[in-house]
Amino acid sequence: MVMVDGTRSALVSPELAPTAVVRGVSYAYGDGVNRKTVLANVDLVLEPGRFVVLTGHSGAGKTTLLTLIGAIRSLQNGHIDVLGIRLTTGAERQSRDRRRKIGFIFQDHNLFGAISVFRTLWLATELGNMPLSRSEAMEKALGILTRLNMAEHLHAFPGELSTGQKQRVAVARALMNDPKLILGDEPTASLDHASSMLVVNLIREHVLRNGASALIVTHDERIVEFADHIIRLEDGQMVQHK
């Protein structure tokens, strides 16, 4: 079901199943003497409609946790359910299906210079439940880009955009398929204050409207203010603040 209007917001209620459940997840890099435990028995529940900020000092394991939830990295211990689905280990196709349901925002925009903004966004919709026609995709892309103050760049190529503008395109791309889960790793690092606020507001609104959850790694105090929950990773353990 593709929701483009706001009718879904009424459905967001506490009884809805959590978007993601992390139980007893431990993770270690390396082997033998080089073995280094990064996550130790982490538990985390992401409720629908919540904007959650993940903090912690550098090397605390924030990125590692995001890659595990996002099925980019295989689990070693514990389990993670996303939208009620637990992956069988080694099932490439299952993890791909999970990733398709997630909106990923990275620190870098990673846009192909040869592909226009519109085509980048349209291409993302090929991973959605229903492929969008060109005009449907155009409407959807314009809707999101307008919110990010990027509408006039619909047909631009990345080379014609500033770093901050490219990053906003990457944010728009993550939202094209109405993901139920958004995972962001320092998504506003390259943005100025005004653009950061546009991005945060858009993600918060998306989360509320779609009953989705966002888990955003950031040190940006301006973003932390808007969080429904703030979670800190310390020594591989979760510490909830707010």
Ligand X SMILES: Nc1ncnc2c1ncn2[C@@H]1O[C@H](COP(=O)(O)OP(=O)(O)OP(=O)(O)O)[C@@H](O)[C@H]1O
What is the binding site for Mg ion (CB under 5 A)? 63
Q: What are phi and psi of 113, to 5 degrees?
A: -60, -25
Neighbours of 150 (CB within 10 A): 24
Which position has the token pair 């009953």? Answer: 211
Q: Say whether residue 163 binds other proteins (CB under 8 A).
A: no
**Among 79, 86, 96, 241, contact with other proteins (rule: CB under 8 A):** 96
Query: CB of residue 70 vs ligand X: minimum separation in angstroms?
Result: 13
**Among 61, 103, 187, 211, contact with ligand X (rule: CB under 6 A):** 61
Q: Residue 123's binding partner, choosing from Mg ion, other proteins, ligand X, none, with beta-carbon cut-off 5 to 8 A by kind?
A: other proteins
191 CA to centre of own chain: 17
**Among 19, 20, 38, 125, contact with other proteins (rule: CB under 8 A):** 125
Q: Say whether residue 123 binds other proteins (CB under 8 A).
A: yes
Cα–Cα distance, 75 to 130 (Å, whole number): 30
Query: CB of residue 189 vs ligand X: minimum separation in angstroms?
Result: 10
Q: Say whether residue 70 binds ligand X (CB under 6 A).
A: no
Q: Say whether residue 155 binds other proteins (CB under 8 A).
A: no
What phi-psi label fits residue 209: left (phi over 0), alpha (psi between -120 and 50 degrees) or beta?
Answer: alpha
Tokens of 61: 């394991």
90 CA to centre of own chain: 23
Q: Residue 29's binding partner, choosing from ligand X, other proteins, Mg ion, none, with beta-carbon cut-off 5 to 8 A by kind?
A: ligand X
Single-letter amino acid, residue 123:
L
Query: CB of residue 161 vs ligand X: minimum separation in angstroms?
Result: 25
Q: Is 46 helix (H, G, I), strand (E, B) or coil?
A: strand
Strand partners, 23: 79
Cα–Cα distance, 226 to 156 (Å, whole number): 31
Candidates 59-67, 85-93, 136-144, 168-176: pick the segment binding ligand X (CB under 6 A). Answer: 59-67
Cα–Cα distance, 39 to 235 (Å, whole number): 8
Residues of the shown chain interacting with other proteins in the complex, contacts defined by CB under 8 A: 63, 66-67, 70, 72-74, 96-97, 99-100, 104, 106-108, 110-115, 119, 122-127, 131, 133-135, 137, 185
Residues of the shown chain interacting with ligand X in the complex, contacts defined by CB under 6 A: 29-30, 38, 56, 58-64
